[in-house]
Amino acid sequence: MPVTANTIKFGTDGWRGVIGDEFTFERVAIVAPLAAKVLLDTYGQEVGNRKIIVGHDRRFMAEEFASKVADVVSAAGFDVLLTDNYAPTPAFSWAAKQQNALGALVITASHNPGKYLGLKVKGAFGGSVPPEVTKQIEELLTAESAPPESTPNNIQKFNPWRSYCEALEGKVNIAKIRNALAAGKLTVFADVMHGAAAGGLAMLLGNEVKEINSNRDPLFGGGAPEPLPKYLSQLFEVIGHHRETNPGGLAVGLVFDGDSDRIAAVDGEGNFLSSQILIPILIDHLTLRRGFQGEVVKTVSGSDLMPRVAALHNLSVFETPVGYKYIADRMLEQKVLLGGEESGGIGYGSHIPERDALLSALYVLEAIVESGLDLGDYYRHLQEQTGFTSAYDRIDLPLSSMEVRSRLLQQLQTQPLTEIAGKAVIDCQTIDGYKFRLADNSWLMIRFSGTEPVLRLYCEAPTLQQVHQTLAWAKDWAE
C-alpha cells in the first residue's frame, strides 16, 4: 500500500496507528524525514540550525522506533539529539525550546491502548505544531516525495530529564512541598499507569512519593493509560486503605497518562477529580498565592466553573475548539495564565505552550500545602464562593458506520434541536460540534470524531442524575 495522506492522517495531536499494521518501521522511515523537512521550512530561519530532538515513551518497541527515526532523519542531513531513556512528552517539547532545535519527533501513543504507537510533532517554540504544519507533512506524503539524499549527520544521545526537572523545580515552592512530605503532613500517591511519568515525582520530591503501577507494562494491565476512574481501581484501593489507617493529615493521589501530558487526581476521601475540577483550583491558587495574571484559555467542553472562578479574579476567558493545539496557538499570541482541556491537558503561561502533567502535579501539591485544604474541600470552597454547583460526564458512542455519522450530522444542520430531555434549547454554539445550552443552565455537547464513526457526548448539569438523564436522551437520539 503506498504511503499517502489517505493512509496516514495526523489527528488532534499526531499520527497514531496499530503497531505492525498502520504503524510500521517502513512508514515511520518515510514520515519522519518529511516531518523534519517541514520543521526546517517552518522554523529553520528562526533557529538557524538543523537540530531535531527525538524522544519516546515506554510503549512496546518505542526505543526501536525512536532509533529508526533518528537514523532516517540523520540520513536526511539533520543533526539529531536522541534521548537516552523514556521521558514525558513535555520533556521533549521543553528540550526543543531549551536546545534551540527545529522541534521534536516523539514516539508515543499517549493514552491509547497498548496495541497503538504514534508520532507527535513538536515545534521550536516547545509545543504541538499547528494544523497547517501537519497538513504540509500530509501533502508531502501525498506527493510521495522524500528529502534528497544527504550526507548523514551525527546522532548524539542526551538525558531529557535533567534540564526538564530543573525547569519545573524553579516554578514552584519545591522546598515547602518536600518539607510537608518529610514531616508526614502530606502523603502523595502517584499512579503513573506504567507510563513515562515513572520516577518523575521522586526525582523532583524525593522517595517519600508512593508510586504505583511504575513497572513497564506494554499492555497497561489490560486497559489503557488514560486518567479515567475505570482504570484506577488500585489507586482508589490504596487511598481507601490509607484513609482507614492514617486518619488526619492530607493525602492525594495524582494520575498521569501514558506520556505524562494529561493529569487527574483523587482526593483524600477517595473522590475522582478530573481537570474539570483541577483547572478551577489551579486558577484560584496561581492568582491568589502566586500573583499570576493572564487570560484563561479553555476548550468549548470545559466546565462552567472555570469562567466563574476566573471572574473572581477579574481574569478574561477565551474559548477554543477541542484539541490542545488550539490552546497552544492562543498561548503563543497572548499572555495566558493557563490553558486547559476537559481530558486532562493543562499548560501554563509561565512555562512552554504545552500540556504538562508533572508541572500540573507540582502546582496541585503546592495548592494543597499552601492552602492546608484537601483537594475535595478546596473544590467545595470554590463552589460556595461562586454559587455554582455542577456535575459532569462524557461518553464516546460508537456508530455503526460513517454513513450513520453523515446522517446525524446532516440532521443537526437541517433540523436544529429545540428541546433536549424535556428542556428548551436556549442557545447553540458551533465552534466545535454542537453545544446546546439548556433552560436549566445545563449543557449538552455533540461532537463527531473526524476519523472514525464515533460520537462524543459531553454534559454538565446541576446534578449527576440530570447529567445521566441528558446523556441517555442523547444516546437514544443518536441510535
| For residue 6, pLDDT beyond 70 | no
Residue with cell 508520532: 119
Mean pLDDT for the stretch of residues 300-307: 97
Rounded to whole angstroms, what are the CA distances from 184 to 151, 208, 245, 271, 316?
A: 57, 9, 14, 21, 38
Could you give the CA distance from residue 162 to residue 396 in angstroms, rounded to a whole number? 38
pTM: 0.94
Give the tens place of pLDDT for each residue, 42-91.
999 999 999 999 999 999 999 999 999 999 999 999 999 999 999 999 99
For residue 16, the SS3 value is strand
* Burial class (CB within 10 angstroms; exposed 0-12, middle 13-18, buried 19+) of 16: buried
- Least Cα distance to 309 among 337, 335, 330 occurs for 337
Residues paired with residue 346 on neighbouring β-strands, in sequence order: 340
Asked if the domains 15-160 and 170-386 are classified in one and the same CATH topology, the answer is yes
| For residue 4, pLDDT beyond 90 | no
pLDDT for res 1: 40
The pLDDT > 90 percentage for the chain reads: 87
pLDDT for res 143: 78
Could you give the CA distance from residue 54 to residue 68 in angstroms, rounded to a whole number? 10
At 206, list the grid cell. 524525593
Rounded to whole angstroms, what are the CA distances from 447 to 8, 218, 273, 455?
A: 22, 30, 23, 6
Give the tens place of pLDDT for each residue, 82-123.
999 999 999 999 999 999 999 999 999 999 999 999 999 999
Task: Please report how many Cα atoms fall inside a 13 Å half-sphere around the Cα of residue 361, on the Cβ side.
Answer: 31
Non-local (6+) Cβ contacts of 340 within 8 A are 275, 279, 282, 297, 298, 299, 302, 306, 327, 346, 347
| For residue 449, pLDDT beyond 70 | yes
- Least Cα distance to 10 among 121, 105, 108 occurs for 121
Mean pLDDT for the stretch of residues 274-290: 97
Could you give the CA distance from residue 118 to residue 23 in angstroms, rounded to a whole number? 7
At 469, list the grid cell. 438523564
pLDDT for res 453: 83
Domain boundaries, given as residue ranges, for the chain: 15-160, 170-386, 391-478
pLDDT for res 2: 45
Give the tens place of pLDDT for each residue, 364-416.
999 999 999 999 999 999 999 999 999 999 999 999 888 888 999 999 999 99
pLDDT for res 247: 80
pLDDT for res 317: 98
For residue 89, the SS3 value is helix
| For residue 299, pLDDT beyond 70 | yes
Could you give the CA distance from residue 266 to residue 251 in angstroms, rounded to a whole number? 9
**Average pLDDT taken over every residue of the chain:** 94
For residue 415, the SS3 value is coil
pLDDT for res 146: 58
pLDDT for res 246: 87
| Sign (positive or negative) of CA dihedral 165, 166, 171, 174 | positive
- Least Cα distance to 76 among 36, 44, 17 occurs for 36
Fold of 15-160: Alpha-D-Glucose-1,6-Bisphosphate; Chain A, domain 3 (3.40.120)
Three-state SS annotation for 102-165 = CEEEEECCCCCCCCEEEEEEEECCCCECCHHHHHHHHHHHHCCCCCCCCCCCCEEEECHHHHHH
- Least Cα distance to 261 among 215, 192, 204 occurs for 192
Q: What angle do CA 100, 77, 158 make, to 5 degrees?
A: 45
Could you give the CA distance from residue 276 to residue 255 in angstroms, rounded to a whole number? 14
Mean pLDDT for the stretch of residues 140-145: 76
| For residue 217, pLDDT beyond 90 | yes
Fold of 170-386: Alpha-D-Glucose-1,6-Bisphosphate; Chain A, domain 3 (3.40.120)
Q: At what angle do helices 357-371 and 89-98 cross, to 10 degrees?
A: 100
Q: Which CATH superfamily is domain 391-478 in?
A: Alpha-D-phosphohexomutase, C-terminal domain (3.30.310.50)
